[in-house]
Structure 1
């Protein structure tokens, strides 16, 4: 990439390009804007300046092809309610919104009705949020919707095959006052409300989750209250029919700070390319993990991934192993 980044986003635009936006070069400063990866050339090109430089935000591809970029930190611990749209036809950014609440470290999921659910995160002055809101691309506005049962940050959210959204884990509070969650809940767009489902087997935050081709949800890694001293190699599977979690196979490597980097490949195998020094794959049929060859010393933490055509996956930036954010990028070919 042209700029080192961590806690950024990578969004496949569906035309062989990937939008890489925001992030930080150090925690006090948001990275300089955005760039585009061109799969035809394997190169990155710098885009015009974003409306707002930000990190720990979300980026969601909308049905109209634009990308909604929402919230995040501006600098240090200052959160923002601002949002903007990237237009891939013009390669430009324009304001939209703002959100109902200022937040960072939240989750965003595209619903079947074309709206975007945004939930949780951190608000001003380290306030942890349980509230949620919806973005309507037709009006360019956000509106409040039903809130979660608990305050969550560093949680995961995925859209299930039945259209509901599963939210699991995360934490509230910080340092000595941190509380981790094993709880999970689902959001139903038809009712605009969350409801509790079975708890995860393990309290975890800074983990990842992805929907498998058979409809189950694979939850991987994360950490306990000790953070880097308590990283998990454990996984679990959410069964949509019973709304419960069962233990999954252990990963080859403990990994955390990898939210959003799990990618389902065309053959149903899952690539885990974040949170550890090497990537690995998960085969849901055999219920086994395997290390991917040729991936030593990847920038494991807070990297961002995007799937391209043909099952190729772009992995960008991140940091770890005593280094700051990196400008490195990798291309996985199955």
Structure 2
């Protein structure tokens, strides 16, 4: 990559390139720069700078292919949590003003609804603490309106997954007392959140992946006792409940979970404790047919807090993140290549 970065935002653009924005390049150095990865050439090129540098920005693709950026922390010593919106246009390669949202949010929860509007909920700010309020941002008018509040306020990686029926599922995360086991579903038709079946154990800094059949896989992170949670669970929309679905081979928090084109889930990286290394280099794959995890080889760079995006050809691009004993962001990128024929094994390459 052009610039080492961790806690950045990224999206896959309509033409298959990968847009990457913001993050932190070293302690105290919050980035406003962007770069774009081209799968055809395997290279990164610099893009336009945003007005504000943001760490852990809310970054999501709009229905027309543009990219919405809001929230995150920046300013002097990271003391500002933003309510401003910037919109990146990949056709012109420039940012434009997108107005403001109702509430500044750091590590907020975001999803694009079927009508193209953006649900923003939860998160944290210095004035209100952990947030339970929600809003709907309309890219056409560049304005936000309030909608129903979360049943349980939450921040820091409460995951939002848009279900096949257009509702949005919010899984786990943290409140002021620690990790949450509660799971909520937002219904755009009513503008309200309601509870569905709880996770068997609370989760924070975990992964939640929408499977090809509409179920939801939850794994990794920290449980209610703040120990690493290795038991995975699957939520079934037909019953609204979770069942046990395999055990991770390695404990990990802040890992990356990516749905592969064949329906399996790739699990990579994350943070670990209790050993000489801070970050996990191993990967594993969860198979929905057997609901088990199998080892899938070593990443070239052990990393946590980076980004993973599946490309149009099925490969998975990993960018940045924290690495090494010095806990510095890395500029290294690598690809996971799924087997195209049974004679080859899944694996990583530069």
Pick the TM interval, shorter chain.
over 0.9
**Quick check: 1:287 aligned with 2:291?**
yes
Q: 2:90 aligns with which of 60, 74, 88?
A: 88
- Relative to its length, the structure with more strand (as a share) is 2
- For residue 274 of structure 1, report the CA deviation from its aligned partner: 3.6
Distance 1:32 1:140 in 2: 21
**Match of residue 2 from structure 2:** 2
TM-score, length of structure 2 as denominator length: 0.89
Which structure exhibits the higher relative contact order, with contacts defined as CA atoms closer than 8 Å and separated by 6 or more residues? 1
Local SS of the residue matching 1:293: strand
**Match of residue 217 from structure 1:** 216
Local SS of the residue matching 2:313: helix
- For residue 162 of structure 1, report the CA deviation from its aligned partner: 1.2
Q: Which moved more, 1:278-287 or 1:34-43?
A: 278-287
The two structures, once aligned, show a CA RMSD in angstroms of 1.6
Alignment of 1:105-144 (within 5 A): 105-125=107-127, 127-144=129-146
Query: Structure 2: any 5+ residue segments left out of the alignment?
Result: 271-279, 339-350
Pair 1:28–1:125, CA change in 2 (3 A): farther
Post-superposition Cα deviations, 1:54-108, rounded to whole Å, max 9, x if no partner, equal: 0111211111010111100114243111111110001111121311101111111
TM-score, length of structure 1 as denominator length: 0.93
Query: Structure 1: any 5+ residue segments left out of the alignment?
Result: none
In our comparison, the structure showing a higher alpha carbon Rg is: 2
Please tell me whether the aligned partners of residues 160 and 215 of structure 1 are also in contact (alpha carbons under 8 angstroms): yes
Post-superposition Cα deviations, 1:313-334, rounded to whole Å, max 9, x if no partner, equal: 1111111442211111111111
**Quick check: 1:19 aligned with 2:19?**
yes
Please tell me whether the aligned partners of residues 179 and 222 of structure 2 are also in contact (alpha carbons under 8 angstroms): no
Alignment of 1:1-334 (within 5 A): 1-74=1-74, 75-125=77-127, 127-154=129-156, 155-173=158-176, 178-224=177-223, 230-258=227-255, 261-275=256-270, 276-299=280-303, 301-322=304-325, 323-334=327-338
Pair 1:169–1:317, CA change in 2 (3 A): same
Local SS of the residue matching 2:36: strand
Please tell me whether the aligned partners of residues 245 and 292 of structure 2 are also in contact (alpha carbons under 8 angstroms): no
Distance 2:28 2:54 in 1: 11
Q: Which moved more, 1:68-77 or 1:56-65?
A: 68-77
**Match of residue 273 from structure 2:** none
